[in-house]
Amino acid sequence: MTALDGDLGWTLGVVFRAYVKSSAVVMTGVPGGHRGYQVLTAAARDEAPSQSALGAQLGIDRTVLTYLLDDMERADLVARKPDPADRRTRQIVATEPGRALLCRLEEQLAHAEAHILSGLPAGEQRTLKSLLTRLAAHANELDPVDSTCAVVEDISASRPKR
């Protein structure tokens, strides 16, 4: 027990640090790391109606997303296809190698998550994930993130100058 046990920032930080470390190992070789995984997941589940909608959904600046998609296309994980309803719009779709990689990544991430959550009984693990999902959706409604780059800029701007 520490003096910070009830501190939300501290507890989230500790769990986040553990997740980042374990997921970074899983994401080795994936273009864009965890961001690339998120793009691949959205593309494989047909949740990427357009490149701009995908960027907005994931909070990735459009310039950054363009470079990430270029890298993912070169790796044959996703493809940009013209939208049949609007040929100016590009849909992001997962390729067969991309879908196969996603299956492996999901399995490896499940093991990493299980390791991190192993301090809780299975029922509490499900409850925690459900509560965090609801909390994240609520926090995103209160303060939507159009670009993770903007989040970093906001944090940097709020730091006291030395």
Question: Which ranges of the chain have pLDDT less than 50?
Answer: 152, 155
Burial (Cβ within 10 Å: 0-12, 13-18, ≥19) of residue 104: exposed
Contact 73, 90 (CB under 8 A): no
The counts of H helices and E strands in the chain are 7, 2
Comparing CA positions, the residue from 33, 26, 28 lying closest to residue 148 is 33
The predicted-structure confidence for 95-136, as pLDDT tens digits, reads as follows 999 999 999 999 999 999 999 999 999 999 999 999 999 998
Q: What angle (nearest 5°) sits at the alpha carbon of residue 122, between those of residues 28 and 110? A: 15
pLDDT of residue 84: 84
What contacts 70, CB < 8 A, 6 or more positions away?
A: none
The Cα-based distances of 72 to 33, 43, 64 in angstroms read: 11, 11, 12
Give the pLDDT score at 134. 94
pLDDT value of residue 149 = 52
The pTM for the full model equals: 0.77
Identify the CATH number of the domain defined by range 25-158: 1.10.10.10
